[in-house]
Amino acid sequence: MGRSNRASNQWSREIQDIVRGASGGFLFGVPLLYTMEVWWIGSSVKMPRLILAMLLTFFIVLMLNRTAGFRKATDTTLQDELMDTVEAIAIGLVCTGLMLILLREITWETALPESLGKLIYESIPFTLGVALANQFFSGENEADTSSSKSKTATQHSQGTLTNTFADIGSTLIGAMIIAFNIAPTDEVPMLAAAVDGLWLLGFMGASLVISYTIVFGAGFTNQPKRRQQQGLFQRPISETVMSYLVSLAAACVMLVFFDKLQWDDSWQIWLSHSILLGLPATVGGAAGRLAI
């Protein structure tokens, strides 16, 4: 029975480590996924450069794993760090591949060399984000526990309405930090032209899952404090939905601000563009909520 519990705990930690690494990848890599120049470079690059890019990525991630990494453990050997590096690259490749499929930059019609080039080039920042996962939100250490408790008590005294506005504000700030540089580009209209209604539902589902994972599933050290935050929507599901709606609204406003949406455009255009930019905005909003 004890051995079974240890195995179960080990698998649980492993899954959380993978989720944490993927969350760091999304925080670091999503903006570049919306960059057409990287799509073009990846689709035309030759195999020797792809191999060199993978070797450089392996070396950089190995160096990062020696100081940071996506696992909580610190007593690691060189062999552990090598295995973690391979795993970080695998996480980066899988998540990047799924995102490129969702963005329809990789389809059944895409040639294999083009798909491979896009996948490897886009996965580089994603993989770096995996390796830096524990550094995004290091949170508080044991010496800050009493400070955290006093802050929580203050939050209780402030009331749910104040904390709800704090959640909305942090979501808006995070959404703008990530999505503001994407909004004025031509990537969103280009991507919107290639997706239909059912594909947009996939974007919405992916946005909600990624947001929930970053804030409540990745095991960042700020997450216990996040769960103690008081607010009108302070349940994991309701907070995730609320944050997504706020991020969608922020995405829409940014697109209007940069004249990517016109008042005489159809509601379908408004909806599709907002949902597409809403994904990176939601990732930024999740980061903003963790930061407060």
Q: What average pLDDT is seen over the chain?
A: 81
The more confidently predicted of residues 143 and 193 is: 193
The average pLDDT across 106-112 equals 90
Most confident of 12-21, 27-36, 160-169, 178-187: 178-187
Quote the CA–CA distance of 101 and 110 in Å, as a whole number. 10
Least confident of 82-96, 124-138, 157-171, 268-282: 157-171
Name the DSSP letter for residue 248: H
Is a pLDDT exceeding 90 seen at residue 137?
no
Q: What is the pLDDT of residue 225?
A: 58
Q: What is the pLDDT of residue 201?
A: 93
Amino acid at 171: T
pTM: 0.81
pLDDT confidence band for 67 (50 / 70 / 90)? confident
- Cα 70 to Cα 43, 57, 120: the distances in Å are 30, 16, 20
The more confidently predicted of residues 67 and 86 is: 86
Q: What is the pLDDT of residue 143?
A: 42
Q: Which of 41, 24, 204 is nearest to 129 (CA)?
A: 24
Quote the CA–CA distance of 30 and 145 in Å, as a whole number. 33
Q: What is the pLDDT of residue 215?
A: 84
- Cα 137 to Cα 19, 27, 140, 273, 290: the distances in Å are 14, 11, 9, 30, 8
pLDDT tens per residue across span 214-268 = 888 777 765 555 555 555 556 788 889 999 999 999 999 999 999 999 999 999 9
Residue 199 exposed, middle or buried by CB count within 10 Å (0-12, 13-18, 19+): middle
Strands annotated E in 54-152:
none
The more confidently predicted of residues 212 and 289 is: 212
Amino acid at 29: G
Is a pLDDT exceeding 80 seen at residue 203?
yes
Is a pLDDT exceeding 70 seen at residue 205?
yes
